[in-house]
């Protein structure tokens, strides 16, 4: 196998054979390709795309590049959810323990931030001691005893995807439907799932900006996953504003803990979390209907069982035992915290979520290079939802920064990001369609 020949053929629009793809991914997993070759392959796929059979081959090759987990010894349905990436999207942190509290086993293999979007693993690393890459024995123990484990890929699980994932983040090749499909599904197939629900984001803070693009990605994911034997559905959700009222790693952990303690009821975030819990329960045949699933999920939340499970999971993976009760004793705090105020009165009508994600990177809360260190303290909190009436000088968010100058820059950028109108906006539904 000559890597540059495979790159050339894809660059020129050829359909790669299964043997070509298997050989290229085997070399990738073995560390025999340079970053330049990996980036060139990703860019060729970005420009020329892949047919469905190529995407299936790529997905299966990456899934089989390492260990394949087996959960046949568990007496619970094995289920998971994955998001295509957004801003302030911390759904997984609450959804996994809620689903576990309702009777599912959730071995959730998550990723780091890609481009302007946040990564679940980066958020979890805000928790002191939390091990995001446990060995297989600990991972299995946590899933068995806590009911869920939110971790990253180990070196043995879909290793080819791990290396390709890092290169995509810094080569402007994140928003390729074949690469997104293969990356997401290879991890899920390797994790040994029985069912999967996908959150496909659409809007100015998503990789898929239009409904047509989001639907195309949803169909690709569902068709490839089901073709590979994994029962999968997809839900398209709005990403034209941050989903949680916080953007930033430790801030989104605080937000998740507040959610699990019942402090975020009535929000768009709650609507999405409960809807996905219901989808997982119905797909796993634990709930008879979405209404039944939503009721079970709401009970798991209100009873405190989901919060207890998150705390147990975090402690078993090395985090503090009293994280739920005393988050401020453990989570890092930025030295500069100040309000970002509305520049005029009116209705918060629109914002550019992607720019908010880029602001987080500028603050130090994301990466420009795979080796960049993240400042987990920084970001935005108490973000006011679109459709809210504000007066001039009212806080629309709080910026958390490492320095006064960084806070000045981020606050000015966020103020300029928001459109304030004299009339109330018509906003898209948070959940638009299902596949």
Q: How many CB atoms lie within 10 A of CB 327?
A: 19
**Closest alpha carbon to 404 in 340, 335, 357, 356:** 335
Query: Does residue 179 sit in the same domain as residue 149?
Result: yes
Single pTM value for the model: 0.87
**Residues 419, 423, 428: CA angle, nearest 5 degrees:** 70
Q: Which residue's structure tokens are 């911390």?
A: 90
Q: Please, which pLDDT band fits residue 1 given cuts at 50, 70 and 90?
A: confident
Query: Does residue 239 sit in the same domain as residue 308?
Result: yes
Pick the catalytic residue from 83, 84, 92, 186. Answer: 83
Name the domain boundary from 292, 327, 362.
Answer: 327
Query: Does residue 88 sit in the same domain as residue 117?
Result: yes
80 is catalytic: yes
> Residue 24 is part of a domain; what is its CATH number?
1.20.970.10
183 is catalytic: yes
Residue 69 lies in a domain: no
Pick the catalytic residue from 176, 183, 186, 284. Answer: 183
* Helical ranges in 191-304 per DSSP H: 211-227, 249-260, 268-283, 290-302
Q: Which residue's structure tokens are 């299902």?
A: 434
Q: Cα-Cα-Cα-Cα dihedral of 350, 355, 357, 360, to 10°? A: -120
Pick the catalytic residue from 65, 120, 131, 381. Answer: 120
Name the domain boundary from 327, 342, 364.
Answer: 327
330 is catalytic: no
Query: Does residue 57 sit in the same domain as residue 199?
Result: no
> Residue 390 is part of a domain; what is its CATH number?
3.90.1170.30
Q: Which residue's structure tokens are 């030295």?
A: 335
Query: Does residue 348 sit in the same domain as residue 369?
Result: yes
Pick the catalytic residue from 55, 65, 80, 367. Answer: 80
Beta strands in 110-220 (DSSP E): 148-151, 195-202
82 is catalytic: yes
- Under 8 Å between Cβ of 188 and 233: no
- By DSSP bridging, strand 389-390 and strand 336-341 are unpaired
Domain count of the fold of the chain: 3
Pick the catalytic residue from 64, 81, 116, 354. Answer: 81
Pick the catalytic residue from 10, 57, 59, 82. Answer: 82
Name the domain boundary from 289, 309, 327.
Answer: 327
229-268 pLDDT per residue, tens: 899 999 999 999 999 999 999 999 999 999 999 999 999 9
326 is catalytic: no
Alpha-carbon distance of 121 to 153, in angstroms, equals 10
Is pLDDT above 80 for 128?
yes
Q: Please, which pLDDT band fits residue 138 given cuts at 50, 70 and 90?
A: very high
Three-class SS of residue 418? coil
184-211 pLDDT per residue, tens: 899 889 889 999 999 999 999 998 889 9
**Closest alpha carbon to 23 in 5, 11, 45:** 5
So what's the pLDDT on residue 166? 85
Residue 430 lies in a domain: no
Residue 276 lies in a domain: yes
Stated length of the chain: 435
133 is catalytic: no
Residue 429 lies in a domain: no
Q: Cα-Cα-Cα-Cα dihedral of 399, 402, 403, 407, to 10°? A: -20
Q: Which range marks the domain in which residue 350 is found?
A: 333-421
**Closest alpha carbon to 298 in 266, 252, 327, 257:** 266
DSSP bridge pairs for 151: 109
> Residue 121 is part of a domain; what is its CATH number?
3.40.1030.10
Query: Does residue 322 sit in the same domain as residue 371?
Result: no
Query: Does residue 201 sit in the same domain as residue 289?
Result: yes
Pick the catalytic residue from 188, 201, 296, 400. Answer: 188
Residue 166 lies in a domain: yes
Q: Please, which pLDDT band fits residue 317 given cuts at 50, 70 and 90?
A: very high
Alpha-carbon distance of 110 to 89, in angstroms, equals 13
Alpha-carbon distance of 138 to 140, in angstroms, equals 5
């Amino acid at each position: 196998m000559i890597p540059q020949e495979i790159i050339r053929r894809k660059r020129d629009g050829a359909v790669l054979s299964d043997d070509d793809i298997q050989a290229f991914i085997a070399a990738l997993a073995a560390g025999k390709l340079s970053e330049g070759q990996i980036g060139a392959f990703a860019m060729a796929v970005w420009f020329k795309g892949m047919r469905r059979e190529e995407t299936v081959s790529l997905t299966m090759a990456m899934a089989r590049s390492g260990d394949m987990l087996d959960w046949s010894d568990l007496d619970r349905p094995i289920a998971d959810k994955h998001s295509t990436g957004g801003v302030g999207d911390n759904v997984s942190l609450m959804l996994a323990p809620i689903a576990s509290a309702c009777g599912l086993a959730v071995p959730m293999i998550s990723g780091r931030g890609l481009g302007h979007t946040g990564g679940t693993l980066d958020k979890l690393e805000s928790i002191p001691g939390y091990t995001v890459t446990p060995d297989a024995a600990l991972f299995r123990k946590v899933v068995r005893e806590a009911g869920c484990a939110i971790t990253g890929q180990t070196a043995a699980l879909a290793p080819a995807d791990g290396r390709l994932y890092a290169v995509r983040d810094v080569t402007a090749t994140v928003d390729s439907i074949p690469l997104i499909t293969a990356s997401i599904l290879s991890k899920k197939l390797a994790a040994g799932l029985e069912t999967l629900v996908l959150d496909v984001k659409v809007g100015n803070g998503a990789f898929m900006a239009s409904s047509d693009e989001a639907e195309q990605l949803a169909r690709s994911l569902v068709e490839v996953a089901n073709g590979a034997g994994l029962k999968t559905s997809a839900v398209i959700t709005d990403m034209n504003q941050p989903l949680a009222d916080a953007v930033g790693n430790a801030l989104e952990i605080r937000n998740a803990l507040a959610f699990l303690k019942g402090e975020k009821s009535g929000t768009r975030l709650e609507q999405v979390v409960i809807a996905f819990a219901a989808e997982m329960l119905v797909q796993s045949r634990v709930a008879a209907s979405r209404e039944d699933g939503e009721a079970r999920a709401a009970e798991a939340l209100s009873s405190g069982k989901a919060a207890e499970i998150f705390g147990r999971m975090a402690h078993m993976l090395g985090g503090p035992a009293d994280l739920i009760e005393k988050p401020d004793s453990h989570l890092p705090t930025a030295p500069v915290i100040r309000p970002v105020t509305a520049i005029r009165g009116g209705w918060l009508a629109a914002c550019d979520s992607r720019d908010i994600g880029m602001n987080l990177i500028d603050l130090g809360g994301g990466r420009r290079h795979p080796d960049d260190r993240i400042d987990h303290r920084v970001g935005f909190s108490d973000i006011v939802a679109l459709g809210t009436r504000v007066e001039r000088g009212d806080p629309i968010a709080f910026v958390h920064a490492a320095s006064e100058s960084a806070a000045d820059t981020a606050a000015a950028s966020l103020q300029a990001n928001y459109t304030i109108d004299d009339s109330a906006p018509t906003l898209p539904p948070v959940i638009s369609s299902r596949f």
